[in-house]
Structure 1
Amino acid sequence: MKTLKELAERRAAAVAAKKLLLKKFETAPKPSDPDMVAKSAEREAVAAARETRRVERERSVQEERDRQIVEAAAVARAASAQADALEAEAKNRIARVATDNAERKTERDRRYAARKAKQR
């Protein structure tokens, strides 16, 4: 067990430490002190500037997303238009082939009929 002298010394040291802490807080600048008001205003200005930069950054990111969406839609429209053009060209080619075949058959039938008419 510790001696009474050691306990008294520890207690005195604790009291002294508390007094030092109280003295430190008493000498600390008050919130109404001009330096503290200036620092507080500076911190608020920095925070406001930070918030402004954050909002600007979010706005630019959103603008980039919107631009990419518009660009993707334009690419999709162009691809769709190209696909429609290819489809129309294919249909036109098929129609021309069908028309050519019908014309050839008609000409062949006419020649056949003419040949049969000569034979009679």
Structure 2
Amino acid sequence: MSGRKIDFADRLETAAKAKQALLEKARAKDPANDPEFAARLAERAAIAAARDAREAERRAAKQAEQARVVAEREAAKAAAAEAAAAAEAAAAAEREARRPVKVVLSEAEQKAARDARYAARKARKK
């Protein structure tokens, strides 16, 4: 401490001088006058553009992969539905083949069979 009294006005004046010095320092680094700063800005812009391009490429690849997965899933569903339909058709054909064949008799044959049953019933009663 220097032994001199520092009052409020002195502190305000010192703060104002410090702010002015910072402002002058910032003005000295004006980006319009600094070619190094312009080069850094251009480099950052190039890096950001490359990053955006890579991100767009990844997004496109991801969408293509999702589309391929959806297409495969749809193809698998279609194949499963087709296989199920074929299996159902085969099962129906097998059931049809196992069903007993019903003999269709003509009217005369039906009458003869009925008469034979009637005669057998009469013979049992006697």
Report TM bin, short chain. Answer: 0.7 to 0.9
Kept after mapping to 1: 8 A contact 2:31/2:38? no
Q: CA deviation at 1:25?
A: 1.4
- Listed one character per residue, the Cα deviations across residues 70-110 of structure 1 (whole Å, up to 9, x for unaligned) are 10011101101110111111110111122xx116x57xx9x
Give the match for residue 7 of structure 1. 8
Kept after mapping to 1: 8 A contact 2:31/2:37? yes
- The runs of at least 4 aligned residues of structure 1 exceeding 2 Å deviation read 29-33
Q: Distance in 2 between matches of 1:42 and 1:102?
A: 88
AA partner of residue 96 (structure 2): A
**Which sections of structure 1, spanning at least 5 residues, go unmatched?**
none
AA partner of residue 66 (structure 2): R
**Which sections of structure 2, spanning at least 5 residues, go unmatched?**
117-126
Q: Distance in 1 between matches of 2:16 and 2:85?
A: 91
Give the match for residue 54 of structure 1. 55
Give the match for residue 77 of structure 2. 76
AA partner of residue 20 (structure 1): A
* TM-score under structure 1 length normalisation: 0.74
SS in 2 for 1:102: coil
SS in 2 for 1:57: helix
Larger gyration radius, structure 1 or structure 2? 2
Q: Distance in 1 between matches of 2:97 and 2:19?
A: 104
RMSD: 2.3
Give the match for residue 102 of structure 1. 101
Give the match for residue 21 of structure 2. 20
AA partner of residue 42 (structure 2): A
Q: Distance in 2 between matches of 1:52 and 1:67?
A: 22
Report the count of equivalent residues: 103
SS in 2 for 1:50: helix
Q: Distance in 2 between matches of 1:51 and 1:76?
A: 37
Greater helix fraction, Structure 1 or Structure 2? 1
Q: How many percent of aligned residue pairs carry the same amino acid?
A: 34
Q: Distance in 1 between matches of 2:23 and 2:81?
A: 78
